[in-house]
Structure 1
Amino acid sequence: MSDQMYVIGINGSPRKRCNTGTLIEHALQGARSKGAETECINLYDFEYKGCRSCYACKREGPGYGVCAIHDDLTPILDRVTTADALILGTPIFYGSANGEMRSFLERLLFPRKSWDDWTSLVEKKIPVGIIFTMGAPDDLMKQMGYEAHLNLIEQFIRDIFGSCESVYVTNTVHVPDYSKFRMRYFDADAKIKRRKEVFPQDCEKAYSMGVRFVQGSQER
């Protein structure tokens, strides 16, 4: 059996190579720098839905703790069970994770929660990181109460997998050329400046997350 770690990145953004995708790739680069095998999965490439509230995963029998839905997400959920670390990335739509990521989390987390004693059914605890990207600047994020919603996502993940840490990336650039769009609420020049000066620091935070996840597992 190989000792090489397997780290999966899950990109919830519809734009594979923009803010969220770039940050996930930096996180996976960090993991690879320490010898891990990595894979990036783009959720928008697949057809699936969220939890159907069928409760099949709570029934007695061999299907207990396993999502009963069979669609494009099924093999992805199977691969997650073999991972040694998981790095999620989602853009923030209306103050929380976007629809594709929320549907993924429903299917990932709900079957793995015992309704007998409210404990996790996951025997293999792994580090999980989540990268939140948003066009809102820090002050607007706090004013709108985003953190309460995002902290709840972190807690749900922590309950199942044992740990979760986050990177908050704010005031991101929406489009390359703001002059072509009706987005006058935002200071386009300030956003472009921040992209050049601050976004590289955000990428370094993501890279460091990937490094730490692999190093931490190697040291255990």
Structure 2
Amino acid sequence: MKKIIAINGSSRRNGNTAKMLKAALAGAEAYGAEGEFIQLYSLFYKGCASCFYCKQKKKIHGNICATKDDLTPVLEKIKEADALILGTPIYFMNYSSSMVAFLERFLFSNYLYRFPDSSIFPKKLPSALFYTMNATEEQADLFHLPDRTKAYEEFLGNILGVPPKVLSAYNTLQFRDYSRYEASIFSEEDKKAYEKEHFQDTLDQARFIGIKLIGG
């Protein structure tokens, strides 16, 4: 049975990012895969300590991060997976801090300063990146979000040997009741109308990506 892992870089266990990840898992599971959902904000870990343990010549074939914390078993599980999906909200046109710290640990421990075979990840692993954001697509382009995410996307593809599939959800709802918060620059009516028109389609696309990642 194929194993697909979805990693949520949002603090919200059932928010927009989680819904996209779970839709992808549901798609993969419908085709017989085993899915696992990992909530990063439930784990205690930190980013790369730049100790270079993973770069020592006598250690490099183990692609092991020397830091031991709640992220350690997650890094090991990924080596055994058949597909990987990472989901993150976009904060100030960047990944969430939990996702950045995860990627520091994961990517750097599988990367060597050599050319052309810089990746020591043990196999090719299909992957996807899901983004959710309050910004519209036009605002994301205005603030150069595609340029900011491109490096992560390329590094992930280089390490895993396969370019990741990318799916973005724009103009998402942050609150169900906007009257409770100071958010006067937004129209609750317009935001909810946009979600009604677009978000289900995004979930359908996420489900399809889950199916494709496990070869369905």
- Shorter-normalised TM range: over 0.9
For each residue in 1:138-168, what CA deviation from the matched residue of structure 2 results, as whole angstroms up to 9, or x when unmatched? 1111111111111221111001002211001
1:116 is displaced (CA, Å) by 2.6
Q: Single out whichever of 38-47 and 145-154 deviates more from structure 2.
A: 145-154
Match of 1:18 in 2: 15
Alignment-mate amino acid for residue 19 of structure 2: T
Give the distance between the partners of 1:165 and 1:185, measured in 2 at CA. Answer: 32
Alignment-mate amino acid for residue 38 of structure 1: G
Match of 1:134 in 2: 133
Alignment-mate amino acid for residue 178 of structure 1: Y
For each residue in 1:104-139, what CA deviation from the matched residue of structure 2 results, as whole angstroms up to 9, or x when unmatched? 001110111121325211131111101000000111
Match of 1:167 in 2: 167
Give the distance between the partners of 1:189 and 1:50, measured in 2 at CA. Answer: 39
Match of 1:114 in 2: 112
1:63 is displaced (CA, Å) by 5.8
Q: How many residues align?
A: 213
2:176 is the counterpart of 1:209:
no
Alignment-mate amino acid for residue 194 of structure 1: Y
Give the distance between the partners of 2:71 and 2:109, measured in 1 at CA. Answer: 14
Q: TM-score, normalised by structure 2?
A: 0.96
What SS does the corresponding residue of 1:198 show, helix, strand or coil?
A: helix
Unpaired runs of 5+ residues, structure 2, are none
2:74 is the counterpart of 1:68:
no
Q: TM-score, normalised by structure 1?
A: 0.94
2:56 is the counterpart of 1:59:
yes
Alignment-mate amino acid for residue 186 of structure 1: F
Alignment-mate amino acid for residue 15 of structure 2: C
Q: Do the aligned residues in 1 keep the contact of 2:53 with 2:59 (CA within 8 Å)?
A: no
Q: Do the aligned residues in 1 keep the contact of 2:123 with 2:161 (CA within 8 Å)?
A: no
Give the distance between the partners of 2:169 and 2:161, measured in 1 at CA. Answer: 23
Runs of 4+ residues over 6 Å off in structure 1: none
Alignment-mate amino acid for residue 110 of structure 1: F
